[in-house]
Amino acid sequence: QVQLVESGGGLVKPGGSLRLSCAASGFTFSDYYMSWIRQAPGKGLEWVSYISSSGSTIYYADSVKGRFTISRDNAKNSLYLQMNSLRAEDTAVYYCAREGGYNSHFDYWGQGTLVTVSS
């Protein structure tokens, strides 16, 4: 069965960095586009970043452009999010999600990893 398991969250000071990982299993990872989506405590969902199956196409939300970098290693079935210059407003649960169709929907989600940015 499809599984997505995020890791790497934690407490970090404003201006700091953190790298999130998402380990995928149960499907051919290299065939699928992937995204990171976050949810601030008590708030709604916010799409963060997307990467195509080969890694050749990448998109970012304006709120993280220039600070976050998405990448993937198809040989390791893994997705990553490098987060730099973190701000308090980046505090959220970060989910990795598989895109189920071209530009369409997210059909599988991980359980999420909490990132807290606070001094």
Partner 1 sequence: QSALTQPASVSGSPGQSITISCTGTSSDVGGYNYVSWYQQHPGKAPKLMIYDVSNRPSGVSNRFSGSKSGNTASLTISGLQAEDEADYYCSSYTSSSGWVFGGGTKLTVL
- Determine, following the binding rule CB under 8 A, whether residue 44 of this chain makes contact with partner 1: yes
Whole-angstrom distance, CA of residue 14 vs CA of residue 44: 22
Q: Which is nearer to partner 1, 23 or 45 (CB)?
A: 45
- Determine, following the binding rule CB under 8 A, whether residue 107 of this chain makes contact with partner 1: yes
Burial of 18: CB neighbours in 10 Å, binned 0-12, 13-18, 19+: buried
Binder of partner 1 out of 95, 113, 115, 117 (CB under 8 A): 95
Binder of partner 1 out of 1, 56, 66, 105 (CB under 8 A): 105
Binding site for partner 1 (CB under 8 A): 35, 37, 44-47, 50, 59-62, 95, 100-101, 103-112
